Structure 1
Amino acid sequence: MADDQQTSTAEATTPAAPATFRAVPTVALVAAGFLALCLSPIAFQGGAWFLLFALPVALGVWIVRSRTRVDTEGLHVHRLVGSRTLPWSEVATLRLVPRGWVRAVPTEGAELELRGVRVRDLGRVGEASGGRISAPTPAEAEAAAEHARELEAARMRVAKLRERRAAEDEARTADEPAEEPADEPNAEPNAEPTTDRPGDRPGGPEPRA
């Protein structure tokens, strides 16, 4: 019993391990090296052409520096030029972007884009923060993502069924024959034209002179 209490106490006092999220994996440095290799025949011609190597160098520096580090002290965002640290005491909330990087909303000032941090990474962010923020675990985040994918697939199936039903209704309407207009009632056959005669007028025939 005492050993269990000591184990739980040790786990509670163990500091949370920091987590680093990169905007682009470091494997992308291979692409920067390949770009430098492709530019070398032109760059080694001498003169200002040598400045072409600045492109792969800048790409490599951006790959290495563009990252977000999360620890118990706060959020540390590194850009190509400069960096910014936001302590947890100044973080109001995290704004989730479905198809982008998560943004930290400070109590004052502009939002901070957490480069490399996606919605699926919120569990790791919560663990690295040492409980400073409430975030789902990786398993919970994966389950929520799977549920969202199932909902999206269901919406697509419903939309396809509606489109198919609309196409069938249009085809059925096109196949139905058009209604012919009803014929107007004809005049009575052998109807003789009527002509007013002097004797038929009111008052009888006109007297002769």
Structure 2
Amino acid sequence: MADQQAATTAEPAPATFRAVPSVALVAVAFLALCLSPIAFQGGAWFLLFLGPLAVAAWVLLGRTRVDTAGLHVRGITGTRSLPWEQVATLRLSGKRWVHAVPEQGAELELRGVRIRDLGRVGEASGGRISAPTPAEAEAAAEHARELEAARLRIAKLKEQRGAGGEAGPDDALPDDAAAETAVGSPESADDDESAPGRRPEGRA
């Protein structure tokens, strides 16, 4: 009995991902308010409210629930569940939602689940899939931002060197010190060129 209680306590909590945040209902209500003067004219005009109602239903129902049993995607037409035993892999789609690829059958679009949410998916699955934790995902994102910033700095240095006529944009930058030397004054470049046995930087 104690073992069963410990297993229940250790079971991770399910995670829910919404396709659209609930705050979007404010925009839907504003749209319905704008349509009211026309819709309340009576007759077929009242059907204009069907548009905001459909959008509101999609906002409320469109979500993905992840637990130890599997993946559950809910939409306007119903809910489709996929047990973990039938999941072959997860297909990442860049900025789009993640797709679950089953052993057989069509892929399941996990509405509201993006690449940054894989850590939460892995935790909610109880370790049934290998995914980075939220802290690991944030650390990886920070590392990617640092790499992008370094790439931009190198591209700016290359542009400065190309504008100064000392080297082409395709020349390699071995380190920051070499880059600072390359963008120095023209007098220093002439002194380096006139020195015996020394090859100016940026030239073949």
Q: Which range moved further: 79-88 or 64-73?
A: 79-88
Superposition TM-score, scaled by structure 1 size:
0.72
Give the C-alpha shift of residue 137 in structure 1: 1.1
> 1:158 maps to which residue?
154
Q: Which runs of 5+ in 1 are unaligned?
A: 1-5, 171-209
2:165 alignment partner, SS class = helix
Select 2:164's aligned residue among 147, 163, 168: 168
Where do 1:92-171 residues align within 5 Å?
Answer: 92-169=88-165
Write the distance in 2 (CA, Å) between the matches of 1:51 and 1:126: 44
Distance 2:164 2:47 in 1: 63
Of 27, 37, 40, 1:41 maps to 37
Q: Does 1:80 align with 2:63?
A: no
Q: Which amino acid aligns with 2:143?
A: H
User: Identity rate of aligned residues, in percent?
Assistant: 73
Cα distance change on mapping 1:123 and 1:161 into 2, 3 Å: same
Instruction: Name which of 83, 86, 100 aligns with 1:90.
Output: 86
CA 1:12–1:76: 2 relative to 1, 3 Å: closer
Cα offset, 1:38, TM superposition: 0.8
Distance in 1 between residues matched to 2:152 and 2:82, nearest whole Å? 41
What SS does the corresponding residue of 2:23 show, helix, strand or coil?
Answer: helix
Instruction: Describe the SS at the equivalent of 1:26.
Output: coil
Amino acid at match of 1:116: G
Choose which of 15, 19, 27 in structure 2 pairs with 1:19. Answer: 15
Matched residues in 1 for 2:146 and 2:94: separation? 16
Q: 2:81 and 2:67 mapped to 1: Cα distance?
A: 11
The offset of 1:57, in angstroms, is 0.4
The equivalent residue for 1:173 is: none
Q: What is the alpha-carbon root mean square deviation over aligned residues? A: 2.1
For normalisation by structure 2, the TM-score amounts to 0.73
Matched pairs, number: 164
1:206 maps to which residue? none
Mapped to 2, the partners of 1:97 and 1:148 lie a distance apart of: 18
**Residue type matched to 1:147 in 2?**
H
Deviation at 1:153, TM superposition (A): 2.0
- Deviation at residue 80 of structure 1 after TM alignment: 2.8
